[in-house]
Amino acid sequence: MAISYLKNWEEFRDQELIKATLLLEQLGFSLDTKQVHISGERYLTGNRKLVLLGFRNSDQKPVVMKVSSDPAIISEIEDERRSRNILKEINFAYHIFSFPPEILYTHKQGCVIFITEFIEQEMTFLERPLAEQFFIALKAFEAQEAIHATTYEHANIIKKVFGIFTAQIYLEKIKEYSRDIEIVFQDDKNLKGVLDRAHEFIANNLETIDIYSNFLTHWDFVPHNFRVWGSEIYLLDHAALRFGNKYESWARFINFMTLYNEKLEQALLSYVKNNRDQSEYLSLRLMRVFRLVEIIWYYTNTLVKAVGDLHTLNQKRIIFWTKVLESVLADQPVSRNIVEEYKRIRDNLRSPEEKERQKKLH
């Protein structure tokens, strides 16, 4: 069954790529020879969309092209574009991110094609010095926190475009994720215990989650979803924007840094602890727990699709993120031995295509 997922994706990708290449050529764009974003572990997302790199023929300008003929993905790309436009327009979005300029948006032969400028960066986020990483992250978080949709007028605008997550919705999601995970890992008592504690932690602190809700938040705020050029932060993925708890983007970012940059993880946690209200730090932990349960759920769902080493790797990922979840619930840093051991296993199990895809990604 898992092999058919991979095969289906490869068939879809190859057919779609032939069609897209012709369409893009007609529109005056060419593709780069190497396309890293349609290989490696990409098939696991089940997302029937091609993200392609190339250039505009007239001036060789590098571009990013999103192409899909799948009705659900067409609607997702349309929503993403609408989000970009709304954020530019709404008058309470005083401090907003920069967006890669739109070059073309069109529907052609049943496909949607959305082309934006490729934003260069002097170096990847993780190659920057720690202080720069810290301040870029804070600038991005403050930009999101500046957009608080609490008034009647604001709510009316955003309801039409972005989703709104309340404490109750976070709780329902945790229940749903835990249920799905427990079906797959019926005999894993430790995992069940951790998930129960996560659920209890969220359920007991709904008021705190709600206090810091209604803020613009990017639930997939990680270095590969933004680029930095000069003093500007360019947001690349607008589909992951919603109004929810303001620490959701912090949580995703800090959980990511648990794996990629412990010093930045600790610096950000320490900053919140020492400069903000205690309930804000609690809110951050609540969101970290939420995002961790979600990532465990995500990898649990991939087990039916993943093949070979990737299947083994995703099992290891579930174990690793469960340990991180336990640490956050205990408000303790995760042991570095656990992180380093996981990284070693991950690097052994990753495919060459995925290793190539990961290069210069963060």
- Binding of other proteins by 146 (CB under 8 A): yes
**In 3-state terms, what secondary structure has residue 188?**
coil
Dist CA 26 CA 73 (whole Å): 22
Q: How far is the CB of 94 from other proteins (least distance, A)?
A: 5
Q: Under the criterion CB under 8 A, does residue 182 sit at the interface with other proteins?
A: no
Give the tokens for residue 98: 């920069």
**CB-based burial label for 168 (10 Å; 0-12, 13-18, 19+):** exposed
Count of Cβ atoms closer than 10 Å to residue 354 Cβ: 18
- Does 246 engage in binding with other proteins (CB under 8 A)? yes
Q: How far is the CB of 164 from other proteins (least distance, A)?
A: 11
Give how many residues touch other proteins by CB under 8 A.
38
Q: Which of 68, 214, 300, 302 binds other proteins (CB under 8 A)?
A: 214
- HSE on the CB side for 69, CA within 13 Å? 13
152 vs 336 by CB, closer to other proteins: 152
Is 181 or 267 the residue whose CB approaches other proteins more closely?
267
Which span sits near other proteins by CB under 8 A: 81-89, 112-120, 262-270, 332-340?
A: 262-270
Instruction: Select the residue interacting with other proteins from 53, 86, 164, 211 (CB under 8 A).
Output: 211
Cβ-based nearer residue to other proteins, 109 or 156:
156
Shortest approach of other proteins to residue 293 CB, angstroms? 23
192: three-class secondary structure by DSSP? helix
- DSSP code, position 44: G
C-alpha 140: how far from chain center: 15
Give yes or no for residue 266 binding other proteins (CB under 8 A).
yes
- CA 239/CA 82 separation, integer angstroms: 10
CA-nearest of 222, 228, 283 to 256 is 222
Task: Tell which one of 207, 336, 337, 352 touches other proteins (CB under 8 A).
Answer: 207
Distance CA 274, CA 217 (A): 22
- Say whether 142 sits in a helix, a strand or coil: helix
Which of 58, 231 has the CB closer to other proteins? 231
Write out the DSSP string of 261-273. Answer: -HHHHHHHHHHHH
The answer to whether 357 touches 40, Cβ cutoff 8 Å, is yes
Q: Are 117 and 103 in contact (CB under 8 A)?
A: yes
Could you say which of 19, 37, 48, 148 contacts other proteins (CB under 8 A)?
Answer: 148
User: Interface mask (CB under 8 A) for other proteins, residues 272-301, using x and -?
Assistant: --xx-x-xx---------------------
CA–CA dist 144, 215 (Å, integer):
7
The whole-angstrom separation of Cα 51 and Cα 33 is 14
Using the contact rule CB under 8 A, the part of the chain among 74-82, 109-117, 144-152, 329-337 near other proteins is: 144-152
First to last CA, the chain: 32
Q: Site map for other proteins, 86-125, x if CB under 8 A?
A: -----x--xx------------------------------
CB closer to other proteins, 80 vs 280: 280
Give every CB contact of residue 113 below 8 A, 6+ residues apart in sequence.
Answer: 20, 23, 24, 27, 65, 66, 67, 104, 105, 106, 107
Q: Shortest approach of other proteins to residue 325 CB, angstroms? A: 24
Subset of 120-139 contacting other proteins (CB under 8 A): 130-131, 134-135, 138-139
Residues interacting with other proteins, by CB under 8 A?
A: 91, 94-95, 130-131, 134-135, 138-139, 141-142, 145-146, 148, 150-153, 155, 207, 210-214, 230-232, 246, 266-267, 270-271, 274-275, 277, 279-280
